[in-house]
Each structure stands twice: as structure tokens, then as C-alpha cells.
């Protein structure tokens, strides 16, 4: 590129930086004036990093941003009008007013989402890169994050995975020297953030992040390497956040001399000085560029001010990509006739569902801890590596947060991952990526993205594994909007519900109780998908309803059989699906029997039973002749010793006792 060509490029870069500066300045004024609802995170001072990086990649390439993402959105090609509308909470905002300043989305120009969780976008971007490689799109993914995010565990997990699989992702750290109000130098070990790439064999570079031309050169070289198939790259841009962390931050903690020194290196001042010095633009032309930018932002602001405010009615929509249809037929309510089924183990039915869906849809793949050669901790996926190969049955590091984060990003990128978390206890390590990312994206981004992700995990006790390998944590997932939770009890339900989950567009936690893997039952030979959110009356009775799920359902059936000789007739309802929960079927049954016992293996306090009891009481209070009883694990960690474990967990005897108390007074 000749000198003249370079000057034209610099003018275009300056125009984009000036637009970002104008937007951030004017909108922060509106925020401080109380015109905008919520917080505001300005990127004033960091324009060169955003513009230089985005100029180095194509419109079709993807960029994942962070909470300070306005500049990234504009630099990648986003319109000021839709961005302003989002901050004003308007329906024509890029996320329909649902995302606000921290959660932006623009797939039409490759903006793959900004994120309010520090470091949270790193595994998402890594997963998007995995999807691009699997689909052969030729696109690369850029992940923008701050210096504070480099000390999050997912930074290291994400870089490790990207390096292992040579994924096409360019990690860009905008090191502005401050993790909110804490100096980066006080909390970050090592010579530089960029140098951390060496630990994972990732090439890296450091660049003056306030020099847009230097950033463009460095980012262009890095992007070319990533695009060529060499794998990830880590670029650190040294810059300075001129404003406070957010609109409520007055910057009292920063050294004034340092602020002045960085002000002298303002990225717009550097670029404008070069344009004037080279004769490519005069002072008046620079001023005209800035005035045009300011005018564009002011027009957007005025349009937002004059727009009709929404009435809030759209808030209760777009929770799921695949909505729950209560009228959808449920084939599993029909009994199977002789010759229509085969007896199969629970684990076998799960593997059969996985294989059938992988045969049907080449986008489905397995991704998790020891799921390949070993076949998973409970051997459910044994033999699938030989059948589908290493590109579709993938062992991961023991990095639960990034396993789920990568899978969520990959799902957003167009593939359909099935992850395996070895024990449900370990899902707590991935809770951020489940609750703050995968479950929220569809709603938060105004229904513009789908996250078709299934997370399989074995749960439960009765095996002597102790407190960290025996938990049933389903209730911890119950209050996460956007997530679906399934806990089948029989081989038939396991296969039919898993197939439905695999074909949907939402994140699903598929809970497999360890005590059920060896159970057998009829599985139809025909194709069968079972709708989520539908309970099943497994045994009819007249005296009391016993509602449960998973292994608790097995215990409930045994308790019902034990009570039959006493003349106590139990109706047993299997919830099957916890989110959405079919409380109506339980309430209808309880209205007939006038008594209800709820059985779960999770702990009593704050459990599934508490929620179900509240819902049933709202629906059927006038029909109940006695208080609802709950049978659950006592509120203690699950001990390993046989007798101690049995004392804590529900049992046939404890269910029988609860039913007797209700029916016999």
C-alpha cells in the first residue's frame, strides 16, 4: 500500500474513530443526565484498538465483545441508530431493548454478541471458532476482552482448548491498565498478558493500542496467520480508558500525571496529527469529519427521544427458541403392544438416541470429559468413537466452565453439541456459562440467536461416592429462565426426551441418575419423540398422589406396591421434565385423591418439592384434605458410608411413612 493509499485508509479509520468518540461522548452525557435507564460503559480512549482490529478482518468474520462494546459494535459495521435505540430501550434497538449497554448483537455484520460477565465471552468465542472450523466456513473469530478478564480461569481454559484444536480465533486484550478501579500491575503476574500465550504455544504480540495504524498492521498479520490454519493468536493492545469504569465512576483513584500523559497520546489526536502533517487532511477537514460524526449521533438521539416508548408487553416473549406446545401429542401415553418394543437398558436407550440423531444430523457431536475411548464415566458412549471418529466424539480437558462455554458458542455458530459433565456435582463449575450465557442469549439478544445445546450429566447417590459426587442439584437449575431441565426415569422416556432435546433450539440439562443406568424397560422400535414439559401418570390410584421423577420415581413405585396390601391405593405421577414443569397434571391427580406426597432426591430446603407444592396449592387448594408432604434428602452433605448415606437420602420406607401419615391420620 503506497503513501497515498495509506492516507486514504487512515482517513477512513479516523472517520470511524470519530464516530465512536461522538457516540460515546454524547450518549454518556445523556446517561449522566438521567435520560438513559441503567448503566453506561464508555470506551472513549480505546477507539484505535476497536477500529484497527475490525479493519483487519472481513464483515463476514465474527467478533465477540465485552461489557465495553459500543466501540466494537460501531467499528464492526453497526449502525449508530440501532445502537442508540438499544440504549434507549426501544423495540428497534439491536436487541429490542432487552440487552442494553452491555449486551449487544448484530449477526448481519458479524457482531456475535457483547457480554456483561468479565471474561465470559472467551469460551463463547472459542466455541464459535470451533463451529467455523467444523463447518468449513473460512471465517475467523475475534474475541475482545479487557486486562481484568485475563485473570479469569476461562481465559486459560479457552486458550488451552483453542491451542489443542488449532481453532481460528484471534484473542485481543485491550489492556487499559485498570480492572475497574484496581491497577492491572497489582493483580497480574508475568511480564505481559500477551506473553501468557507462550504457555499454550500460541503466538503473541504487543502493540501500541492508541496507534490505529500500528493496531491495523499487527491485527492484519495476526488475522492472516489465524485464517491460514495456524491456530489461535493473542494480541495485546496497550491503551487507556479516559472515562471511569461506568457512568457512576468519577476516576478519583487514578494518578493525574498518568492521565495527562495518556491524554497526550489520545488515539484521535495521534491519527489527526499524522493526517495534517502529511497533508492528507487540513485542520478544517478534520473538524468537518468530527462534526459529521456528531451530527449523525445527534440525529440518532433525536430519533430515539421522539420515538414512542414501548408498553412492556413484549417482555414476556422469546424465552425459548423452541416454545413449549401444551397441545402437542405425547406418544408415550400409549401402551406398547407385543412386537412394538424391545427391552433395553437405560444407558442403552440414551446411546441409541445419540446415535440415531448423529446419523440423522451431521451437526450433532459429542464433546466432554472422557466421552471418547473411555465411553464416559458410566460407559454410555462407549463404541461411539469408533463409529463416528474423533471429529464428532471429542475428549475435552477437565475444564467444566469452558466445556459448556465452548459448546454454547459452537451451538450459536451453527452446530449441535452434546456435552457430558462427568458428575452433576461438577456442573457448579460451569454455572456461570449455563446461567449467565447459554440460558440468556436467546432472550437477551431478542430471539436472534439459538443455542441448541444439550448437557448430559449423571446425578444422585446411593453408591457411596460421598459429598462431592452424589448430589442431585436439579433445584439449583429451576429458577434459571431460558434453560430446560429433563430428568427421565425409564429407558423409553430417556430415549424419547433426549431426541426431542437434541432437535430443539434451546439449552437443555439432561439429568441421568446413576442408579438408573442398569435398569431395563420397553423402548419402542418406531421413531418416538416425547414433548418436554409433560408429566405422566404411571400408576393410577384413589387415596393419595405420589409425584416424583428420576430415581425417586422408582422408589415411589416400590412404596406404592408396599402399601397396596394395606389397602392404600397410590397414584404415581412421573414429572419427567422439571423445566418446564407440568404442575397441572399433578394438581389434577391431587384433586382426585385429595392428598399429595412429593418425592425428590435433592435436599429438602429450596427443593423441587417446595416449588411443586406451591404451584399445586395455587391450583388445587380447595380439593386437598391434608397438607402436602415432601420427602427429600435431609439438609446435610451426602456422606459416603452406607448406613450414613441411607439415613440422609429418601427411601421406600420414608415414602411409605409419609403416605401413611397422610392417609391414616
Every domain of the chain and the residues it spans: 3-308, 331-524, 536-664
Instruction: Provide the mean pLDDT of the chain.
Output: 93
> DSSP assignment of 477-527, as one string?
HTT-TT-EEE---SHHHHHHHHHHHHHSSS-EEEEEEGGGTT-EEEEESS-
Question: What are 552's three cell numbers?
Answer: 425417586
- In the predicted structure, residue 536 carries a pLDDT above the cut 90: yes
Query: Catalytic site residue 230?
Result: no
Output DSSP code: residue 396.
-
- In the predicted structure, residue 466 carries a pLDDT above the cut 60: yes
CA distances in angstroms from 525 to 328, 334, 341, 495, 517, listed in the order given = 21, 14, 5, 11, 20
Overall CATH class of domain 536-664: alpha beta
Note if the bond before 580 is cis, omega within 30 degrees: yes
Give the pLDDT of residue 494.
98
Q: In sequence order, which residues have a C-beta less than 8 Å from that of residue 644 and are 6 or more positions away?
A: none
3-class SS letters over 168-231: CEEEEEEECCEECCEEHHHHCCCCCCHHHHHHHCCCEEEEECCCHHHHHHHHHHHHHHHHHHHC
Q: How would residue 117 be classed by pLDDT, with cut points 50, 70 and 90?
A: confident
pLDDT, tens only, 390-436? 999 999 999 999 999 999 999 999 999 999 999 999 999 999 999 99
Give the pLDDT of residue 190.
83
**Number of other residues whose CB lies within 10 A of the CB of residue 345:** 19
Give Cα 125 distance to the centre of its chain: 12
Cα radius of gyration rounded to whole Å, the chain: 28
Give the pLDDT of residue 244.
65
Q: Residue 439: helix, strand or coil by DSSP?
A: coil
> Looking at the DSSP assignment, which residues form a beta bridge with residue 572?
539, 546
Total-model pTM: 0.93
> Do residues 218 and 205 lie in contact, with contact meaning Cβ atoms separated by under 8 Å?
yes
Q: Residue 580: helix, strand or coil by DSSP?
A: coil
Report the distance separating Cα 193 and Cα 148, nearest Å: 10
- In the predicted structure, residue 185 carries a pLDDT above the cut 90: no
Give the pLDDT of residue 461.
95
Report the distance separating Cα 202 and Cα 222, nearest Å: 11
Give the pLDDT of residue 2.
43
**Options 400, 512, 528, 601, the catalytic residue:** 400
> Do residues 268 and 78 lie in contact, with contact meaning Cβ atoms separated by under 8 Å?
no
> Looking at the DSSP assignment, which residues form a beta bridge with residue 509?
455, 485
Give the pLDDT of residue 245.
72
* Residue from 53, 564, 540, 552 nearest 267 by CA: 53
Query: In the chain, what percentage of residues exceed pLDDT 70?
Result: 98
pLDDT, tens only, 340-390? 999 999 999 999 999 999 999 999 999 999 999 999 999 999 999 999 999
> Do residues 581 and 609 lie in contact, with contact meaning Cβ atoms separated by under 8 Å?
no
Q: How would residue 1 be classed by pLDDT, with cut points 50, 70 and 90?
A: very low
Report the distance separating Cα 551 and Cα 532, nearest Å: 18
Q: How would residue 291 be classed by pLDDT, with cut points 50, 70 and 90?
A: very high
Q: Among all chains, which residue has been given the C-alpha cell 478501579?
A: 181
Mean pLDDT calculated for residue range 452-461: 97
- Max mean pLDDT among 51-65, 138-152, 231-245 falls in 51-65
Report the distance separating Cα 581 and Cα 587, nearest Å: 12
> Do residues 118 and 148 lie in contact, with contact meaning Cβ atoms separated by under 8 Å?
yes
CA distances in angstroms from 552 to 151, 618, 633, listed in the order given = 42, 24, 11
Question: What are 271's three cell numbers?
Answer: 491519527
Mean pLDDT calculated for residue range 491-507: 97
**Superfamily for the 3-308 domain:** Thiamin diphosphate (ThDP)-binding fold, Pyr/PP domains (3.40.50.970)
Q: Residue 334: helix, strand or coil by DSSP?
A: coil
> Domain 331-524 classified CATH 3.40.50.620?
no
Give the pLDDT of residue 150.
86
Q: What angle do CA 306, 307, 313 make, to 5 degrees?
A: 145
CA distances in angstroms from 110 to 123, 139, 255, 259, 640, listed in the order given = 17, 10, 38, 34, 51
Per-residue b or e along 12-33, where b marks 16 or more CB atoms closer than 10 Å to that residue's CB: ebbebbbbbbbbbbbbbebbee
- Max mean pLDDT among 20-29, 189-198, 536-545 falls in 536-545
Q: What share of the chain is helix, strand, coil (3-state, %, to 5)?
A: 45, 15, 40
Q: How would residue 3 be classed by pLDDT, with cut points 50, 70 and 90?
A: very low
Query: Catalytic site residue 469?
Result: yes
Give Cα 632 distance to the centre of its chain: 30
Question: What are 489's three cell numbers?
Answer: 426415569
- Max mean pLDDT among 161-165, 172-176, 256-260 falls in 161-165
| Ranges 109-113, 216-220, 248-252, 658-662: which has the least confidence | 248-252
Question: What are 346's three cell numbers?
Answer: 437405560
Q: In sequence order, which residues have a C-beta less than 8 Å from that of residue 344 and are 6 or more positions away?
A: 352, 491, 495, 520, 521, 522, 523
> Taking the alpha carbons of 556, 561, 565, 569 in that order, is the dihedral positive or negative?
positive
**Options 72, 437, 469, 513, the catalytic residue:** 469
Q: In sequence order, which residues have a C-beta less than 8 Å from that of residue 318 and are 6 or more positions away?
A: 442, 443, 446, 447
Domains 3-308 and 331-524 equal at CATH topology level: yes
Question: What are 3's three cell numbers?
Answer: 503513501
> Taking the alpha carbons of 356, 362, 363, 365 in that order, is the dihedral positive or negative?
positive
Amino acid at each position: 500500500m503506497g503513501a497515498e493509499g495509506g492516507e486514504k485508509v487512515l482517513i477512513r479509520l479516523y472517520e470511524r474513530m470519530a464516530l465512536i468518540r461522538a457516540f460515546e461522548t454524547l450518549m454518556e452525557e445523556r446517561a449522566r443526565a438521567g435520560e438513559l435507564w441503567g448503566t453506561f460503559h464508555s470506551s472513549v480512549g480505546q477507539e484505535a484498538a476497536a477500529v484497527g482490529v475490525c479493519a483487519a478482518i472481513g464483515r463476514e468474520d465474527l467478533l465477540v465483545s465485552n461489557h465495553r462494546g459500543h466501540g466494537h459494535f460501531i467499528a464492526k459495521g453497526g449502525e449508530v441508530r440501532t445502537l442508540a435505540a438499544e440504549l434507549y430501550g426501544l423495540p428497534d434497538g439491536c436487541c429490542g431493548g432487552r440487552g442494553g449497554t452491555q449486551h449487544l448483537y448484530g449477526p448481519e455484520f458479524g457482531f456475535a454478541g457483547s457480554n456483561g460477565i468479565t471474561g465470559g465471552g472467551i469460551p463463547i468465542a472459542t466455541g464459535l471458532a470451533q463451529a467455523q472450523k467444523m463447518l468449513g466456513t473460512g471465517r475467523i473469530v475475534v474475541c475482545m476482552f479487557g486486562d481484568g478478564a485475563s485473570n479469569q480461569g476461562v481465559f486459560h481454559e479457552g486458550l488451552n482448548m483453542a491451542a489443542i484444536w488449532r481453532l481460528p480465533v484471534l484473542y485481543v486484550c485491550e489492556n487499559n491498565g485498570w480492572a475497574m478501579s484496581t491497577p492491572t500491575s497489582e493483580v497480574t503476574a508475568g511480564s505481559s498478558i500477551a506473553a501468557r500465550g507462550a504457555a499454550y504455544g500460541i503466538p503473541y504480540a504487543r502493540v501500541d493500542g492508541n496507534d490505529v495504524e500500528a493496531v491495523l498492521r499487527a491485527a492484519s498479520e495476526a488475522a492472516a496467520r489465524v485464517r491460514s490454519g495456524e491456530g489461535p493468536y493473542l494480541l495485546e493492545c496497550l491503551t487507556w480508558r479516559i472515562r471511569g469504569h461506568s457512568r457512576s465512576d468519577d476516576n478519583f483513584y487514578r494518578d493525574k500525571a498518568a492521565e495527562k500523559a495518556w491524554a497526550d497520546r489520545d488515539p484521535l489526536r495521534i491519527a489527526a496529527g499524522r493526517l495534517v502533517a502529511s497533508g492528507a487532511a487540513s485542520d478544517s477537514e478534520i473538524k468537518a469529519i468530527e462534526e459529521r460524526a456528531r451530527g449523525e449521533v445527534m440525529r440518532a438521539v433525536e430519533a430515539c427521544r421522539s420515538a414512542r416508548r414501548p408498553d412492556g408487553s413484549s417482555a414476556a416473549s422469546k424465552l425459548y427458541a423452541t416454545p413449549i406446545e401444551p397441545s402437542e401429542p405425547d406418544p408415550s401415553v400409549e401402551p406398547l403392544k407385543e412386537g412394538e418394543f424391545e427391552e433395553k437398558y437405560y444407558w442403552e436407550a440414551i446411546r441409541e438416541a445419540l446415535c440415531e440423531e448423529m446419523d440423522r444430523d451431521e451437526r450433532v457431536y459429542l464433546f466432554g470429559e472422557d466421552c471418547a475411548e473411555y465411553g464416559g464415566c458410566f460407559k454410555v458412549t462407549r463404541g461411539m468413537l469408533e463409529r463416528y471418529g474423533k471429529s464428532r466424539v471429542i475428549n475435552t480437558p477437565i475444564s467444566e466452565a469452558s466445556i459448556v462455554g465452548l459448546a454454547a458458542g459452537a451451538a450459536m455458530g451453527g452446530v449441535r453439541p452434546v456435552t457430558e459433565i462427568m458428575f452433576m456435582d461438577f456442573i457448579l463449575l460451569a454455572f456461570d456459562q449455563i446461567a449467565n450465557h447459554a440460558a440468556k442469549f436467546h432472550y437477551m439478544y431478542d430471539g436472534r440467536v439459538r443455542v441448541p445445546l444439550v448437557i448430559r450429566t449423571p446425578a444422585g447417590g446411593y453408591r457411596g461416592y460421598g459429598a462431592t459426587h452424589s448430589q442431585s442439584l436439579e433445584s439449583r437449575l429451576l429458577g434459571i429462565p431460558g434453560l430446560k431441565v429433563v430428568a427421565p426415569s425409564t429407558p423409553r422416556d430417556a430415549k424419547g426426551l433426549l431426541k426431542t432435546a437434541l432437535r430443539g433450539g434451546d439449552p437443555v440439562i439432561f439429568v441421568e441418575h446413576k442408579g438408573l443406568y442398569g435398569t431395563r424397560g420397553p423402548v419402542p422400535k418406531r421413531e418416538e419423540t416425547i414433548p418436554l414439559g409433560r408429566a405422566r401418570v404411571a400408576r393410577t390410584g384413589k387415596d393419595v398422589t405420589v409425584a416424583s421423577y428420576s430415581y425417586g420415581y422408582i422408589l415411589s413405585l416400590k412404596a406404592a406396591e408396599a402399601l397396596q396390601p394395606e389397602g392404600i391405593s397410590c397414584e404415581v405421577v412421573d414429572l419427567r421434565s422439571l423445566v418446564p414443569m407440568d404442575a397441572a397434571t399433578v394438581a389434577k391427580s391431587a384433586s382426585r385423591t385429595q392428598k399429595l406426597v412429593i418425592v425428590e432426591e435433592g435436599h429438602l430446603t429450596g427443593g423441587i418439592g417446595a416449588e411443586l407444592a406451591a404451584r399445586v396449592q395455587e391450583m388445587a387448594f380447595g380439593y386437598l384434605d391434608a397438607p402436602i408432604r415432601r420427602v427429600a434428602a435431609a439438609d446435610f452433605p451426602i456422606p459416603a458410608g452406607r448406613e450414613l448415606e441411607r439415613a440422609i437420602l429418601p427411601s421406600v420406607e420414608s415414602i411409605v411413612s409419609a403416605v401413611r401419615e397422610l392417609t391414616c391420620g
